[in-house]
Every structure is written in structure tokens, then in C-alpha cells.
Amino acid sequence: MSAKVKRTIAILIFSEFLICLGMSLIFPVMPFIKNSLHLSATDLGIMSSLYALTQFVASPIIGRLSDRLGRKPILLGGLALFAVGEVLFALTNHLYMFDLSRVIGGLAAGMFVPTAQALAADVTDYHQRAKVIGWLSAAFSGGLILGPGLGGMLANYGYKVPFWVAAVFGVLGLIATWLWLPDDRQFTANPHPAHLATPDTRQADWRGVLGGPMLMLFVMILVSSFGLQGFESIYSIFVNEVFKFTLGDIALVLTLNGIISLIIQVLFFDRLIRWLTEIRLTRLAFLFSALAVVWIMLTHNKLSVMIATLIAFTAFDLLRPAITTLLTKQSSSNQGVINGLNMSLTSIGNIAGPLISSALLDWNYHIPYAVVVVFLAASFALTFTVHLKHHA
């Protein structure tokens, strides 16, 4: 990598970590907001849905704009909107303003995350991309993992403090990106093996990328996000009611998962890709996640549940960067469209997974995870239908 490319990747990782840290800072304080302002659970649910729905709608549109206007202006706009949304949330005590803040936050995430992945694909060569996507995924995961703990500590000084701190993080990311991120138009097209077809840039729309094996990859993105959220959203309730996990037990499992996921994504993801290839790693991740969820459903031992949980979460954490890397390698153009669709489908899974799992949980504790297993097993089978040309 050239010095300019290294600087670009470093700024993307730094800014993505900050924006994800800011996003997750608010999670521990939501109950305080609910109780202090006498809001209902439905009110908070609508807030969350507005965020995800805005991200879903915005991501593919923003992806197309970033292909045409350049990545840097979109990244700067996303960071600025993120800071504005957090300040608005910190200032207001009215529900409709909270909702507006979450819409702004969803738009900011829809602008920043897929554009950052697209720029990373633009500036790296074909063989470096898995490593860089792994770093970005680690920054994304690291921010989400560390944010709740930091938010909980900050909330001791007032439940609005995490929102102010998140806004500061957004401004820091904005300044760093503005000052040090090179103009992406300075970069030449990244090297791409000649045997892989390059779509006509005039077809830089959804139809241009929703074809051939890429369609199945997008389906896998949707299923993996549904499976992760369907599994994770009810996990605490499930293990508490069925296995009598304490809050300490749950915190231990999630903390260990965060540490393991970061280590694997930073140190081993690129090696796993080189050893197995993206499609084989995706296949194994679907298989092991399905088996781990079955293990959780069948076991009666707390230690076994913990081990199976770590296997399931680790497999989920490998799925997204593996499929994302595979997607970006299928085209030397249209990276904004590809990553925008990627984020939109992830948002659908993030909306549908918790809603469906929660509804099924009221019926029977094991049915939600049985549904998750069916989706994961079907996805494992679908990986055998994807026929990609071997890399050079």
C-alpha cells in the first residue's frame, strides 16, 4: 500500500470506530429516558424502527450518489449529521424530537458505513481487500462492543451525558476526515483481475449489481443479519428464563465474545480468507452458527450454553465481512451501489429479526431459535449454488 492509501484506511477505521462507539453509547441509558420522561416501550420501539428504516431507505440511494459525487463529501455529510442528531437528542425532552433525532442518526449511518466500505474497496487492490474489510469490521464491532460500557459509566453523571460525548466523537471524526482524508478522485482504479467481468459504469444502479452470483450473496447478507439479530435480540431473556443466567453470566459471555471477535477479525480474518477463500469461510460460518444454536436449544448445562454462544457469535461476526469482501471483489465499479444495498439488506434483517423473534418468544421459548436454525441451514445449502470464478 502507498502512504496515501494507508492514511485513507487509517482515517476510515478511526472515523468508523468513533461513529459506532457513539451509536452504542446510548443503549444503556434508554431505560432511564423511558422512566424519566414516562415513555412507553412502544415509543422506544418506534424510535429504534425509525433509525433502521431510515438507514434502509438511505443506503442504496446514498451509494449511487457516492459513485457519482465521490466518497469524501458523503463521509463528511454523514459524520456531520451524526453529530447534529446526537446534540438534538441531548437537548430535547419531547418525543417527536427524539424521533427526528433517530431519523437523522439513521441517515448518518446510511451515509457513512457503506461509503467507507466502498472507499476501502476503491483504494485497495484485489488481494489486500479482505484484510482491510476485516479491519473496518473490527472497528465497527469494536465501537459497538465498547460503547455500552462507556455509556453506562457516563450515565452516572446524567443520562444525557452519553449523547453529548457521542456528538463530540462525531465532530472529532468529521475533523479528522476533513483534514487528513485524501480526495478519492486522486486515486486510480484499483487493480482487478482481468478474468472477472467489470460491469459498464453506466449500469451503476441496482439492476446492474443484482445479477448472477451477486444476487445470492445479497440474500446471504439479509439472512445473516436476520439470524444474528433474531438470535441476539432475545438471547438475554432466553438464557435468563431457561438456564437461569444472571446478569453477571450474560455480561461475561458478551464481553468474552467481544474480545474473541476483535482478535479474530484483526489478526486472523485475512489468513482465514487466504486459507479457505471467502465462499468456503461463509459456508463454514453458516454451518457452525446453525449447529451452535441447535446445541443451545438441546443442552441443559450452563457452561455448554456459554461455549455454544461464543461459537455462534464468532460465526456471525465472520459472516458479514466474508460476504462483504466477496461482494466487493465481483466488480471494480459500482462499489457505492453494492455497499449501499449491503447496508439496506442488513437493516431489513435488523428490523425483522428482533420483531419476529420477540413475537415467537411469547408463544414458546424454543420456536424463535428453531426458525433461526432453519434460515441458517437454508443459507448453508445456498452457498453451494454460488459459482464464482477462482481468484488469480
User: How many of the other CB atoms lie within 10 Å of CB of 116?
Assistant: 27
At 392, is the pLDDT very low, low, confident or very high (cuts 50, 70, 90)? very low
User: How many of the other CB atoms lie within 10 Å of CB of 300?
Assistant: 8
**Whole-number Cα distances in Å, 307 to 44, 299, 313, 369:** 32, 11, 10, 17
At 308, is the pLDDT very low, low, confident or very high (cuts 50, 70, 90)? very high
Q: Tens digits of per-residue pLDDT, 62-117? A: 878 888 888 999 999 999 999 999 999 999 888 899 889 989 988 998 899 888 88
In angstroms, rounded to a whole number, what is the distance separating the alpha carbons of residues 63 and 19? 18
> Are 314 and 257 a contacting pair, CB within 8 Å?
yes
The domains located in the chain, with CATH, are: 3-183 (1.20.1250.20), 204-385 (1.20.1250.20)
Residue 184: closest CA among 26, 4, 311: 4
Burial class, 377, CB count within 10 angstroms (exposed 0-12 / middle 13-18 / buried 19+): middle
Phi, psi of 240 (to 5 degrees): -70, -45
Q: Tens digits of per-residue pLDDT, 237-246? A: 788 878 888 7
Measured N-to-C along each axis, helices 213-232 and 278-298 cross at an angle, to the nearest 10 degrees, of: 30
Q: Tens digits of per-residue pLDDT, 144-168? A: 767 666 776 777 788 788 889 889 9
Q: Which helix (H) or strand (E) holds 221?
A: helix 213-232
* Percent of the chain whose pLDDT exceeds 70: 81
Residue 229 has pLDDT above 50, yes or no: yes
170 or 59: whose pLDDT is higher? 170
Residue 201 has pLDDT above 60, yes or no: no
For the entire predicted model, the pTM comes to 0.66
Mean pLDDT, the chain, rounded, equals 79
> Are 182 and 7 a contacting pair, CB within 8 Å?
yes
- Residue 196's pLDDT is 42
Q: Tens digits of per-residue pLDDT, 4-13? A: 888 889 899 9
Of all residues in the chain, what percent are helix, strand and coil, respectively (each to 5)? Answer: 85, 0, 15
> Are 126 and 191 a contacting pair, CB within 8 Å?
yes
Q: How far apart are the first and last CA of the chain?
A: 19
